[in-house]
Amino acid sequence: MAPNVALQADISQTAIELLGTVTPILRALSSDNVHPLAVLQLDAIGSRFPISGPLAKQIPDALTRSSSVRLGRLQNLVGWMAGDTSAALCQSAGGQASALLTLCLVEMFCRNSTGHLLFDLSMRVLPKNRCLASMAQLSDLAEVVSNKLKPLAFGQHHAIQVTRIRETYLRSDIELPPQTSASLLERLTIDSMVELLDAVQQALQDSTLLLYIEGFQGLGGVVSLLMALCPDDVTLLIEGEVIFQGQRRTIIISVKHEGKTLFGLEKIIHTKKSSPHAVTFRPNEFLAHPGGFSSYDHLTMEAKGCLFRMAEQLLFVTKKPPQRVIASFVNLIGTIMLSFTGVDFGPGSDFPCDGLRLEFHKPLSISDMYTTQQLHADLCQLLGYIPSNAGEGQNVVGACSGSTSILPMTLGADSFIKGHLVRYRALDGQFHDGHSYYKAITENAHIQPRALARVSIQRDNTISPSAMGVHSNIILSLRPHHNSLTLRATVNFGTQMKEISFYDANLAYMATCLAHPCDHHPKDPVTVLDTASVIRTGVEAPVASDGRISVVLTHNNSEAQFLAGVRGVPSMYQGISCLGCMINRAKEGGFQLLIQS
């Protein structure tokens, strides 16, 4: 008995020591919630695919990039951590190849189908003892890797490849029936794709083998995939004419509009064909998305240059109901974020230097209201998002798609922006704290609202610019909670300290109207005869009780002006108007909360 026990103890001790030596990599993988066996398996698949070409050259930089942006005064960051899962894959040729393959497959087949496909492919090309990861683990890993590689814009590559084929037909005498033309973009079944990739890896590794692919249906995706993975090995023919020729003749793709799509390996010495495989397709997928760019749902596109077209489009829709206008606005903002290059907002551009300004000249009536809550939710989801699993009772302040994070500018800003702007930042990467990645920034949805002000904080009947209502300090902090970071905003007013809802303040901030400029000076004081119906308040309790008007004394403090907002109360920001004109306008327009500039 005794020697056995000793032996077992030795083994477990060794195992733990072994674990100790791989701690850095395990930490990297756990930051992504990735299973180590899945990484090993993906690397093994990749080693079967020697990759080449321009996308392959971009892989190392894209996999290892690790710049992060700090969120203003918060300790947390948005971006990529050095030495994450993707960076680990970058350390081997197999890892790099598998990353590129995974990117293409996720964009063509979505994450879950990619996991399925990689699983089936492993069973064919790897020894049984290397097929250890589950489909779900491979899917999770595929998502992590493809997110990091989004900047490669596989969708753009795909569009270029398909356009080249179509243009060749346009220039030729061959007139393709519309249905045939559309079939170019049909998607192969997973089984056919597995079979094809198996043949590709055999041809890439055995110089005596040639892979011959011919037909038309579904070849758009096949050409894109192989021109991404290994263009140096591809010869592309269209109706017998060479359109592209790589350095090596490993794979010949012959696009012919008549005939079924088939592929097969041929032995070069004997030129003896193996029996070709017929390719099968997923049923009705392309037709299910008429008018869509392609049958692929997940293509990542670059959107450079579409800014002007979107602005034009916006002008055309201004006569439709406000909801449509603002929905277009959301699209426009989204497009700007996607296509933002720096010069778009610069001098000489048609857009203001400091972003887009959303101004309402009257409070929106309930019937046509597109609330800032909806606007915020739409903006958060614009680039795709992974839901927070922090549970009920949480509002989402910032969201992450796995590759891009989006959050209101007010959260990241060191100081709050003057004026009232709808500004969001879209950043490459995920929220992280240096150890783990997070998919959302949330806030408790049940923070007690601030009290209503019953009496004025100033007694005389002259209102002048004043900072009497300003808070003394604000602390924004984030703490991990499931896959999210939970935000807490703690504000000091004199000797009091109170948690306030940043989410609500931000929505109020976006909904605040700007007072019209007038001919008077913004610092001109105003004497109010009716001190009971117009009271002066502070950030601690900005809104007056009994539906009266309040002027929040936040002069020259943009942070207090931000905090003065209370969601659902019609609010106006003084801007360059004088106080008297702002109060008059507020009475006419039904504004209740007036914020001093």
Contact footprint for Zn ion (CB under 5 A): 120, 518, 520, 578, 581
Minimum CB distance to Zn ion smaller for 425 or for 585: 585
**Start-to-end Cα distance in the chain:** 83
Nearest approach, Cβ of 526 to Zn ion (angstroms)?
9
Nearest approach, Cβ of 463 to Zn ion (angstroms)?
13
Closest Cα to residue 120, out of 222, 45, 23, 227?
45
Q: b/e for 406-443, b at 16 or more Cβ within 10 A?
A: bbbbbbbbeebbebbbbbbbbbbbbbbbeebbbbbbbb
The amino acid that residue 159 corresponds to is A
Contact (CB, 8 A) for 45 and 98: yes
Task: Specify the pairing of strand 571-573 against strand 593-595.
Answer: parallel
Helix axes 93-125, 54-64, angle to 10 degrees: 110
Nearest approach, Cβ of 116 to Zn ion (angstroms)?
5
Minimum CB distance to Zn ion smaller for 161 or for 597: 597
Six-digit token string for 470 = 């300003």
Rounded-to-integer distance, Cα 299 and Cα 53, Å: 20
Nearest approach, Cβ of 279 to Zn ion (angstroms)?
16
Minimum CB distance to Zn ion smaller for 144 or for 582: 582
Minimum CB distance to Zn ion smaller for 478 or for 578: 578
Closest Cα to residue 230, out of 203, 255, 259, 266?
203
SS3 of 125-141: HCCHHHCCCCHHHHHHH
Minimum CB distance to Zn ion smaller for 510 or for 582: 582
Nearest approach, Cβ of 403 to Zn ion (angstroms)?
27
Rounded-to-integer distance, Cα 386 and Cα 380, Å: 10
Nearest approach, Cβ of 117 to Zn ion (angstroms)?
8
Minimum CB distance to Zn ion smaller for 66 or for 112: 112
Long-range contacts for 485-492 (Cβ within 8 Å, ≥24 apart)? Answer: 485/76, 485/431, 485/433, 485/438, 485/440, 485/441, 485/442, 486/390, 486/394, 486/441, 486/442, 486/443, 486/444, 487/397, 487/411, 487/441, 487/442, 487/443, 488/443, 488/444, 489/443, 491/539, 491/563
Chain centre distance of CA 45: 28
Minimum CB distance to Zn ion smaller for 120 or for 214: 120
Minimum CB distance to Zn ion smaller for 86 or for 466: 466
Nearest approach, Cβ of 518 to Zn ion (angstroms)?
3
Which CA distances in Å does 62 have to 14, 153, 300, 433? 36, 11, 15, 21
Nearest approach, Cβ of 578 to Zn ion (angstroms)?
3
Rounded-to-integer distance, Cα 384 and Cα 406, Å: 10
Minimum CB distance to Zn ion smaller for 505 or for 513: 513
DSSP state letters, 182-203: HHTT--B-HHHHHHHHHHHHHH
Minimum CB distance to Zn ion smaller for 9 or for 123: 123
Nearest approach, Cβ of 353 to Zn ion (angstroms)?
27
Minimum CB distance to Zn ion smaller for 138 or for 440: 138
Token pair 């992504």 in the structure block, residue: 32
Minimum CB distance to Zn ion smaller for 474 or for 518: 518
Nearest approach, Cβ of 135 to Zn ion (angstroms)?
8
Sign of CA dihedral 146, 147, 148, 149: positive
Long-range contacts for 114-117 (Cβ within 8 Å, ≥24 apart)? Answer: 114/138, 114/139, 114/142, 114/146, 115/139, 115/140, 115/141, 115/142, 116/190, 117/190, 117/193, 117/194, 117/197
Contact (CB, 8 A) for 68 and 75: no
Nearest approach, Cβ of 365 to Zn ion (angstroms)?
27
Nearest approach, Cβ of 409 to Zn ion (angstroms)?
30
Minimum CB distance to Zn ion smaller for 482 or for 516: 516
Six-digit token string for 528 = 């109010």
Minimum CB distance to Zn ion smaller for 418 or for 520: 520
Nearest approach, Cβ of 469 to Zn ion (angstroms)?
21
Nearest approach, Cβ of 112 to Zn ion (angstroms)?
12
Question: C-alpha dihedral over 515, 519, 522, 528, to 10 degrees?
Answer: -80
Minimum CB distance to Zn ion smaller for 303 or for 518: 518
Nearest approach, Cβ of 285 to Zn ion (angstroms)?
17
Q: b/e for 284-323, b at 16 or more Cβ within 10 A?
A: eebeeeeeeebbbebbbeebeebbeebeeeeeeeeeeebe
